[in-house]
């Protein structure tokens, strides 16, 4: 059960890593089909892209001993879930985003499932 959670977390950690690198390197224009954006938007976008990198590093930090990092894990899941709620708000108020962002929204809104899995791992005697 623990090994399965570790594998899933490592695979899922590649998603924020990808968005960290592409967001930092491509900026907001990269997400906007190459169309020009304001310097303020690009600056903020690149800054926030690095938070994806922080998320990746935190996942990598907790993955080895995931059963003892319950507090950090719950904070990560909460942050990811709140991001999903923000995407849902945007979806309902601004319109349909690209398919990849809808997929991301569903992954983020489903993040609490990982918290339940981690809880089960943390409360199962380890061999």
| Residue 126 predicted with pLDDT over 80 | no
> What pLDDT is attached to residue 22?
94
Domain extents for the chain?
2-122
Please say whether the beta carbons of 58 and 78 come within 8 A. no
> What pLDDT is attached to residue 107?
96
* End-to-end C-alpha distance for the chain, whole angstroms: 11
Q: Quick one: average pLDDT of 66-95? A: 96
Read off the pLDDT band of 34 (50, 70, 90).
confident
Which pair of structure tokens corresponds to residue 66?
A: 């995931």
Q: Mean pLDDT over all residues of the chain?
A: 94
Query: What SS3 class is residue 35?
Result: coil
Please tell me whether the overall predicted TM-score, pTM, comes out greater than 0.95 for this model: no
**Cα–Cα dist 82/100, whole Å:** 18
Read off the pLDDT band of 127 (50, 70, 90).
low
């Amino acid at each position: 059960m623990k090994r399965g959670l570790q594998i899933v977390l490592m695979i899922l950690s590649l998603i924020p890593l990808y968005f960290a690198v592409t967001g930092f390197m491509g900026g907001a224009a990269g997400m906007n089909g190459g169309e020009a954006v304001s310097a303020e938007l690009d600056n903020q976008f690149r800054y926030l892209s690095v938070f994806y990198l922080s998320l990746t590093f935190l996942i990598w930090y907790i993955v080895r001993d995931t059963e003892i990092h319950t507090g950090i894990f719950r904070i990560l899941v909460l942050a990811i879930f709140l991001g999903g709620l923000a995407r849902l708000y945007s979806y309902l108020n601004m319109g349909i985003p690209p398919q990849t962002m809808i997929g991301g929204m569903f992954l983020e809104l489903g993040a609490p499932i990982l918290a339940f899995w981690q809880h089960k791992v943390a409360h199962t005697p380890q061999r």
